[in-house]
Structure 1
Amino acid sequence: MTPLDQITGLSDQARDIADRVEHFVRNTVIPMEKDARQDGHGPSDELVDEIRDLARDQGLLTPHIKDDGTPFTHRETTAILIRSGLSTLGMLGLNTSAPDEGNIYLLHKVGSPELKERFLKPMVDGRARSAFFMTEPADWGGAGSDPMMMKTTCKADGNHWVVNGRKTYITGVDGAKVGIVMAKAEEGACMFLVDLPDPAIKIVRKLDTIDSSLPGGHCEIEIDNLRIPADQMLGEPGEGFKYAQVRLAPARLTHCMRWLGACYRSQEIATNYTCRRHAFGKPLIEHEGVGFQLAENRIDLQQAELMTFWCADVLDRGERGTTESSMTKVAVSEALMRVADRCVQVMGGQGVTGDTPVERIFREIRAFRIYDGPTEVHKWSLSKKIQRDWQKMQDSTT
């Protein structure tokens, strides 16, 4: 990681927080990574709550949110979240992980004072996890990368709305206390806040996935006549996609921040291993086949960090950053996949075991290439923009 004193545009407060976050993760969280309260569907809430209590005692819980409830700038958040990502448990224990981080940002931006007090405050305090209900099963023909395919419906019924449908890959819903549900009305997409659990929201199954860092796992859901008070809708009927866009670009970017921190950690572990391990008469790193891979990692990590800060600056200027965040998500996720893969490779057999976090980080990064839009969807969207920009240029010269 770039040393904090070399990063411009950070307030003294943000610089101090980022430094303390790194110290907390390295000295408190990393020693807890072997805790047995974890399985293929993530760490237990008991373990996460224990780390959050430690972070709260240090004044570091939800460190990207200031004491007055406002977030740091995106550039400052980048410096903080990269350091929280040095451990997958660090992201959770510090309350900087998805989907909570993105949901916190959304509610801060668009929630009414009443909704903020009821739903946002417990999330910022680290006492409530949340889930975001948008993706739907493919066998149902529902929304995936194309949200316009959404089939979950909502209909007004007096001073309530009634929601019916199916959702899938809903992260962290098992054990969550706050839900953000997207559904389609005649007016268009709508977004609701709900208390969880709710008997109308049934977990059909918990999916076995390649990643395993988030509590509650990823679940398939059935929603059967879920009644939601009308005042728990964000905005007006038909404005759901508008609010999803508020969350979209920053959430893409914070994924990049956290997993960038994780891959810096993998690089540190792989470097330590290859400098200490000898083969054929010298340390592994002195063999070009190994040393060059770590050199390539260093290049990819630096480029990924620079692009993440670049996109953060775009958002800090008040721009939507849709194109820039799409570009950054593609570039960073692909670069980090190369980094994670090389770390596994240079560590050989050690790299595919659970003896170090390198194997887990590799799996998490593989999933990162898909969520918040697969690389191919982002490239398709970018190519359409290139075509539109070309057409505008042609029209302006004729």
Structure 2
Amino acid sequence: MSMSGSQLRAIMREFVDGEVIPAERALDAGGDTAADALKRLQASAKKQGLWALGHPAEIGGGGLPFYEFALVNEIIGRSKYGQLAAGTLSMQDAIMLHRFGSEEQKRRWLVPLVAGDITPSTGMTEPEVAGSDPTLIQATARLDGDEWVVDAHKWFTTGGSTAAFTTVYARTEPDDAKAHRALSAIVVPTGTPGFEVVRVLKTMGSTGGDHCEIRLTGVRVPYENLLGERGGGFAVGQTRLGPGRIFHCMRWLGQAQRAFELMVDRANTRYAHGSLLSQKGEIQRYVAESAAEIHAARLMVLDAAKQFDRDGQARIQISMVKFWAAQMLHNVIDRAIQVHGALGVTDDTPLEGMYREARFARIYDGPDEVHRMVVARRLLADPTRAPWLEDGLDD
């Protein structure tokens, strides 16, 4: 169905707040209870025209430009299950396959991915080397006839235990190859002999993220499972990671806004030491600073989305907002917990879980330190490239 941007956002807000958030307890339960709840939510999203809105239209998605999707994705991000319910969890991998996949790869993986029939995973980081420096990757893939033989030890392969495939980044080129032309991306079906899920990592007290340690021992896949060109793994990875970083920031806005609303409600209803918390100067400072940080991060996200619509990169903007929004998310949730007092550290509210997830935000898809380094290097080389000198907010 056709609707304006404001109508779409209103319907998405009603869906997330009215259907997804009330289902969070059932989704947390896992097993058949969670599976049934998720099926109902996904069917509802499809019926309301809310499914896969950011995926390109030519592959079955809604075709929203980045800027418009940012406005919708912050609403989806209000719940940690919003992506699953609205069919946007696979967007990074869908964009990657859409750009680099062969027609057969698209038929086999991309079409069911967008439809929500399968889920993806990516094997990049390894426990033995720094995940922030992919030039150190030790996984290998060698050609034996018309097959790749893959040997790899990966971890934080998110969704690896339930995914239909893992895109494995492995060293395929000689030792003297240039560092950024040494890796290739190879699609490995998770049921292939030699593919082992060693464990689902327990992270920050929760296994809900399905972050897997996997081993591939002599795994054989056809040469045609190469994604993109041989030695082009960095380009494939950046195509996936670049938009993925801003997707995170979009969703973090929704998480921060939800935490802010919980903080305000608590301040307006909790009485202590002679007055409501909302009447105390320190709590008013929490509210004001949180509002300012959310607003600043939101403007940065929207600016980065506009720039990405223009050039498909927005490298400075995305790196800048990645570390800024991660810290903002932590700050706002931390203040909300403080206002809730003892209640804030229980699972009677979503805040304690949100807080744990917020700590991840400063590490995954590039730690804060790397993104600050990227911004500083580019601006030290040419300060005229500073985002505030762009005219992005004028058009």
TM-score of the two chains, using structure 1 as the length reference: 0.88
The secondary structure found in structure 1 opposite 2:322 is helix
1:213–1:364: 8 Å Cα contact kept in structure 2? Answer: no
C-alpha distance in structure 2 between counterparts of 1:49 and 1:81, whole Å: 20
Unaligned runs of 5+ in 1: 1-10, 391-398
Q: Deviations over 1:197-228 (max 9, x none)?
A: 3332111111111275855x111111111112
**Whole-angstrom distance in 1 between the partners of 2:4 and 2:165:** 30
Structure-1 separation of matches of 2:362 and 2:205: 12
Unaligned runs of 5+ in 2: 175-181, 384-395
Is structure 2 residue 197 aligned with structure 1 residue 203? yes
Hey, what does 2:139 align to over in structure 1?
A: 152
Residue matched to 1:393: none
Q: Report the Cα offset of residue 177 of structure 1.
A: 1.1
Alignment of 1:341-356 (within 5 A): 341-356=334-349
Pair 1:38-2:29 in alignment: yes
Tell me what 1:194 maps to.
188
SS of corresponding position for 1:64: coil
CA distance in structure 2 between the partners assigned to 1:281 and 1:29 by the alignment = 38
Please name the residue that 2:389 is paired with.
none
Superposition pairs for residues 120-269 of structure 1, below 5 Å?
120-137=110-127, 140=128, 142-186=129-173, 188-210=182-204, 212=206, 217-269=210-262
Query: Does 1:116 find its partner at 2:106?
Result: yes
Q: Is the 8 A contact 1:82 1:257 kept in 2?
A: yes
- 1:12 Cα deviation from its structure 2 partner: 5.2
Q: State the 1:67 CA deviation.
A: 5.0
Q: Matches of 2:190 and 2:48 in 1, distance apart? A: 29
**SS class of match (2:227):** coil
- Please name the residue that 1:8 is paired with: none
Alignment of 1:72 onto 2:64: yes
Alignment of 1:325-340 (within 5 A): 325-340=318-333
* Residues in 2 aligned to 1:85 and 1:208: alpha-carbon distance in whole angstroms: 23
Residue by residue, what CA displacement relative to the aligned partner does 1:263-319 show, whole Å, maximum 9, x if unpaired? 111111111111011112321111111121011110011011000001001111024
Partner residue in 1 for 2:13: 22
Separation in 2, partners of 1:223, 1:299? 47
Aligned to 1:272: 265
CA distance in 2, matches of 1:247, 1:88: 21
Deviations 1:232-260 (A, max 9, x none): 21121101101111122211000001121
Contact 2:123 2:169 in 1 (8 A): yes
Change (3 A) 1:47 1:272: same
SS in 1 for 2:169: strand
CA drift of 1:133 comes to 0.7
**Distance change (3 Å), C-alpha of 1:359 and 1:37:** closer
CA distance in 2, matches of 1:46, 1:165: 35
Question: Judging changes above 3 Å, is the alpha-carbon distance between structure 1 residues 312 and 214 closer, same or farther for their aligned structure 2 residues?
Answer: farther
CA RMSD of aligned residues (A): 2.3
SS at 1:181 equivalent = strand
2 CA distance for matches of 1:346 and 1:64?
36
| Alignment partner, residue 281 of structure 2 | 288
State the AA in 1 paired with 2:156.
Answer: Y
Contact 2:255 2:329 (C-alpha < 8 Å) held by counterparts: no
Task: Note the alpha carbon deviations across 1:115-140, whole angstroms, 9 max, x for none.
Answer: 11210111111111110110001xx3
Q: Is the 8 A contact 2:200 2:207 kept in 1?
A: no
- Identify if the C-alpha distance between structure 1 residues 123 and 146 changes in structure 2 by more than 3 Å, giving closer, same or farther: same
Q: How many residues align?
A: 373
Q: Which moved more, 1:187-196 or 1:30-39?
A: 30-39
The one-letter code of the counterpart of 1:206 is V
- Code of the residue aligned with 1:182 in structure 2: it is Y
Kindly indicate whether the alpha-carbon contact (under 8 Å) linking 1:17 and 1:63 is maintained by their aligned counterparts in 2.
no
TM-score (norm 2): 0.88
Equivalent residue, structure 2, for 1:396: none
Corresponding residue for residue 89 of structure 1: 81
Q: Please give the per-residue CA displacement for 1:162-191, whole angstroms capped at 9, x wherever unaligned.
A: 110100111111111122111111161101
Change (3 A) 1:245 1:37: closer
Partner residue of 1:395? none
Contact 2:26 2:34 in 1 (8 A): no
Pairs within 5 Å for 1:353-392: 353-389=346-382
Greater length-normalized contact order (CA 8 Å, ≥ 6 residues apart) = 1
The percent of aligned pairs where both chains have the same amino acid is 34
Give, in whole Å, the separation in 2 of the partners of 1:236 and 1:34.
44
Post-superposition Cα deviations, 1:298-346, rounded to whole Å, max 9, x if no partner, equal 0011011000001001111024222221111011111111111111111
Instruction: Using the TM superposition, give the Cα deviation of residue 44 of structure 1 relative to its aligned residue in structure 2, in angstroms.
Output: 4.8
